[in-house]
Amino acid sequence: MTTTSKQILQPASWVAPRGYANAVAATGRQVFVAGQIGWNGQCQFESDDFVAQVRLALLNIKALLAEAGANPEHITRMTWYLLDKREYVARGREVGQVYREVLGREYGIAMTAVQVAGLIEDRAKVEIEVTAVIPQ
């Protein structure tokens, strides 16, 4: 397992965010993972449940990172595209549990979450994209 060379950027006078970072600096080989939705490697949905789709999207991300020799600790940026922000907020505890199960307790990630009008795949409820930096 490689180590990370990420630096969390946080002004001393700011309140620390919970579960993410406002900014991250890193050097190394960059890996850009396209938006992943909650289907399996054969592009088939196994569930229409929001949290189940989050789990599969995160598992897809983890598998793609492994192809580059990266681990979740190398993720520097993550963007979530959500169909329903209310469901995301209401099920936040479950989302957090799935996140920790799949990616561990890696919170040094600059995150953005936005509600969108729709995703390309009609059954998709969430799409997540990441950038990772592997130290050299």
Q: Judging by DSSP bridges, how do beta strands 75-82 and 110-115 pair with one another?
A: parallel
Bridge partners of residue 127, in order along the sequence: 37, 81
* pLDDT score for 18: 87
Evaluate whether 37 touches 127 at the Cβ level (below 8 Å). yes
Q: With a cut of 50, say whether residue 1 has pLDDT above it.
A: no
104: Cβ–Cβ under 8 A, 6 or more apart, which residues? 72, 73
Show the tokens assigned to 54.
Answer: 């989050």
User: In this predicted structure, what is the pLDDT of residue 4?
Assistant: 59
Ranges of each domain in the chain: 21-130
Cα 48 to Cα 15, 101, 120: the distances in Å are 36, 20, 15
What is the per-residue pLDDT across 41-92, written as a single tens digit (0 to 9) for each?
A: 999 999 999 999 999 999 999 999 999 999 999 999 999 999 999 999 999 9
Residue 50 to residues 9, 44, 85, 99, Cα–Cα distance (Å)? 31, 15, 11, 13
Tokens 């406002």 sit on residue: 22
Q: Which DSSP state fits 13?
A: T
- Mean pLDDT across the chain, nearest whole number? 95
| pLDDT at res. 107 | 76
CA distance 94 to 79: 18
Q: Return the closest-CA partner of residue 126 out of 33, 35, 44, 42.
A: 35
pLDDT (tens digit per residue) in 93-106: 999 999 999 999 87
What pLDDT score was predicted for residue 72?
96
Q: Which CATH architecture has domain 21-130?
A: 2-Layer Sandwich (3.30)
Please list, in sequence order, all residues whose beta carbon lies within 8 angstroms of the beta carbon of residue 31, skipping any fewer than 6 positions away.
65, 68, 70, 74, 131, 132, 133, 134
DSSP state of 21: B
